[in-house]
Structure 1
């Protein structure tokens, strides 16, 4: 067995829970229809990146599909609600109408900004005619990447993505830096992340240990979130690698929640773990350096 390595970060992060998924900046919560979004000025078909249940982002499934991202208003402005539409077609342009349920949803949409300081995870509604729709808004102007994660009926998990530009005041971009330790405080919970390996291509276990911030007692009654103990998203610092992550035990309830993945290349990666406790979803972000 590989020698277990622990990376830890001490820090306090106050994360407000919203009814929708994610918050401006680090995004802390579950999934709703109305939080985050932005306008995409052009049709978007982009790189495919794996899905939430496997190893790395370059799977062949994405080669068989295209995604078009549009906004009802034509453009997106910071802090304004806008409706995002997503249409999936095959490589010949034929609309895909049948999708499998994946983590209790037909589609997951992940949105991040250029420096990964903003994270949103939302779920669009399917109209049954070829279009997924969700209302959302972006906190600032600038570039954002939108990922559509879905499973075509009879197919495998697929993620398609597109960089989009949002109008409005921008903020200085910060460098994505690895955390020295991996302990975060979010919504009254102290969450520690450990990695079984920090080497690229190794099968790696990500273990999140959740404790009460004040008592330091392990929380043993985490609730099912999207059909599992939690949900984890991992991106490379340039947002070009979207990693497959799957729970080792979907029915776990804490204090430890384990997830399996493999980092495809050395470099800096950001990890968002999402969990539910007492009816509220909280999100904990970490940045790690992989050798």
Structure 2
């Protein structure tokens, strides 16, 4: 009898020990799972300001853009199918461009971002011609627009969009346009002053552009001897203006939306990662007309952390 009691007690102790071990392992497993989930969720950064990081759903405090997944496992791949009619694009003739944003071979719905579902910037290879267009949504969910290219040669098409439930996405494609390639303006030397439609537009700090720091874009506008302020401008795409920068060599693309500043009618902040020559186009709207000023700046290599500052700007 005593031997039976000892045997039963031994089995009970073993079962209790096994149960405790299983509970410890289960607890560890849950802790590891939660830790990994937290790490993935926080791996997000601004597509224009890589130094700005945070969690999914948060926005960049500099430009207001949604933070994008840094970890490729979190990113949703989207394909942009570009077709043209006629198929052979000729300079000087209207061409219908159709862009279909797809995932798993299906058109995906797009959210409105800065008043439009799809922003398309078209430039020629030497960055002397720029056009910002907004294709219209079609019944099948694709987007179409008619464009006329001034010259033959290679063109770059940058598409900026935000799929519903996805991240803000930038896509770049190249097309060939048939016809003579007559240089429109080969001079893209440093240019801080642009005269357009009677306006004199000046990039005040154009000679101070550097990498590795939060870069200000300070733009003044004058007409008939009068300096304009932000109140003289109409809202364009949800902001006081619209700015694009593209690198001459690698075609680095920066899509910039200004924020309010009482000193300048157009003021923005960005972070330029690569040095070199950049072309810039600033678009602003007055009396219902959109005007486009162009600049050329040379971005110098800045020291890490040089003149870094925390931005107090809010989303427009």
* Gap runs ≥5 in structure 1: 1-49
Instruction: Please report the RMSD computed on the Cα atoms of aligned residues, expressed in angstroms.
Output: 2.9
Paired residues of 1:222 and 1:254 also in contact (CA < 8 A): no
Q: Runs of at least 4 residues of structure 1 off by over 6 A?
A: 57-63
Runs of 5+ unmatched residues, structure 2? 1-46, 49-62, 301-316
TM-score scaled to structure 1, two decimals?
0.73
Distance 2:153 2:193 in 1: 30
Partners of 1:229 and 1:253 within 8 A in 2: no
Alpha-carbon distance change, 236 to 71 in structure 1, aligned in 2, over 3 angstroms: same
Point out the structure with max Rg over C-alpha: 2
Number of residue pairs aligned between Structure 1 and Structure 2: 237
Q: Deviations over 1:24-59 (max 9, x none)?
A: xxxxxxxxxxxxxxxxxxxxxxxxxx578659x997
Question: What's the offset of the Cα at 1:96?
Answer: 3.5
Deviations 1:10-32 (A, max 9, x none): xxxxxxxxxxxxxxxxxxxxxxx
Q: 1:176-187, aligned counterparts within 5 Å?
A: 177-179=188-190, 182-187=192-197
The answer for the alignment partner of 2:242 in structure 1 is 231
TM-score w.r.t. length of structure 2:
0.68
Q: In 2, distance between residues paired with 1:281 and 1:69?
A: 27
Distance in 2 (CA, whole Å) between partners of 1:131 and 1:87 is: 4
How much does 1:174 deviate? 6.4
The aligned runs of 1:60-71 (5 Å cut-off) are: 64-71=77-84
Q: Take 2:142 and 2:240, find their aligned partners in 1: how far apart are those partners?
A: 30
Matches within 5 A, 1:249-260: 249=260, 255-260=264-269
Any idea what SS the aligned residue of 1:247 has?
coil
Q: Deviations over 1:149-201 (max 9, x none)?
A: 1111122211111111001111248666341x512221111111133841112
Q: Judge which range, 187-196 or 200-209, deviates more.
A: 187-196
Rounded Cα–Cα distance in structure 2 between residues aligned with 1:54 and 1:103: 10
